[in-house]
Structure 1
């Protein structure tokens, strides 16, 4: 693990919140390592263990245990998983990696629920307009596809992406699936309102406007 985390916490709890406290701590540590190493090596290991135990007790946030019932379940899982991995592997970096990975997955799952699709039918022109709102990525791609009615008999379908953002290849594949299915049902499909980033990724990876690529994909099924 990184000893600087403990040092930073001790600095803050001791009232040292400025740059000078960090400079003094680092300078003193450098002096001990370079010039006082012979004397430092004479300190009994048992004494160092006792010091580390007291540092652990002093730097641990005991209030976090009492707040477990108040925090979201995802936050508790991330915290407990990080602690378990650090204790099990004796590697702070590994614990942080697992914590960040879990937090990312929980975040992706959370924002996927904020994606929705509204639709409106213009009977005069027999046109169905779908307005997509939210982030489209691997975790919300299926929800995006299932928001369209592929069996509705309309002459034209307009997909408004002004308030949507496509993040990855999975989301582009979902858009391809929607457009190809709607066109197979005889509807004219138009995409409008794409932002610059969405336009770039769709132009690069989408195949719904490329008959040859569509034939290759469909021929493989």
Structure 2
């Protein structure tokens, strides 16, 4: 095969993978888009269209501009909950202006290059966040899978409520006539997804397992005439679009409205950039995230969402991880998923109305379980117990409260650990035959200067001293400068100092070379 043939085949493979992945993401995005619009407080008759328009903007507009090629944007939990609060405080007519302000703030923040701030996130925190979100999705969508409303929706500690009421949902699915057909369709969907993923012939496995699960389950429900809830697709997409009125624009003079837009910009930006970091860790095909570009892309998408009066968008871990797991290779999969939303809602709304809500919920139940990586926890526990604690705290807080609080707790613990590591310092002095062996342990920062200086000055002025640096995790310029100056003072008094420079690496050796001339 010639190199040209190899390139053509490679392009075809990437195109095929992106198209198939986009279908999977589309199926995952449908229930999320519509459900979050209801959470945010939009009227039931418009909720589906509002969420789907946001999904289309997140896929097409943000996807085209995105700095994270495989991240999929759309309506997300954190932003939807904030919008629900804003609806109560400012009214539904002000939401478009607030979202517009948040988009503008994100564009400015990206232009000022604030994006990489969110890159400094530990893998334990990211995986704890993903596992927490996965459990929340499982708990809420399990109720939907039996055609029931998650009891924790819109309530404080809603995730916990959804979790402890799971046995009740199972009982309804097993015993109650109005819930049993949905439970059957949901279970069938999960079995089909698992079976297709594990046992389908290799030549057929390119077809996405969720597509097979939803298609077969929808056909099963139609054939047997099961009484189920189906996707409430609107007949007219434009019912979701509400352009800002002059009265709403005049409210731009309200300080509270600007504070709402600023807080929404931060929440949506944090969700997007931390999700982008997580997706970088999950995939090996696409380029790494360009954080400032991603922040600008999110801002442009939210400015458009504000103008159209729909839900704000941000990077969504469920859709993004589904994109990676389904084999997405380039930003085309993200863009196409938005195109499919538009095509179906504009041209084929009747097809959407044939899809059981229980089947789409089953796709999310399966996706939620996949986000909980037990193997990672075992490895982390064996390598670093403190990082395992960060994982556990992030996971528990995400489940008990919300994603942003969980991230705040995880970041706080990571910073506390960092501060502890950089404040932990001790000296071990051992005298043998008139020679003093001094071992420095921990992090020698400026905080340790009083301890280090006091211990060195307590040694005889003419002593022979060996300083072991091999057990240091870090040493800063202030401590290096103290050692160099003390070496000069000791030699002037007839003493001798041997510094174990060769035990240090990288930065330490570089600083030694700069300090040596001054010591001679």
Q: TM-score, normalised by structure 2?
A: 0.26
Per residue, is there more helix in 1 or in 2?
2
Q: TM-score, normalised by structure 1?
A: 0.49
Per residue, is there more strand in 1 or in 2?
1
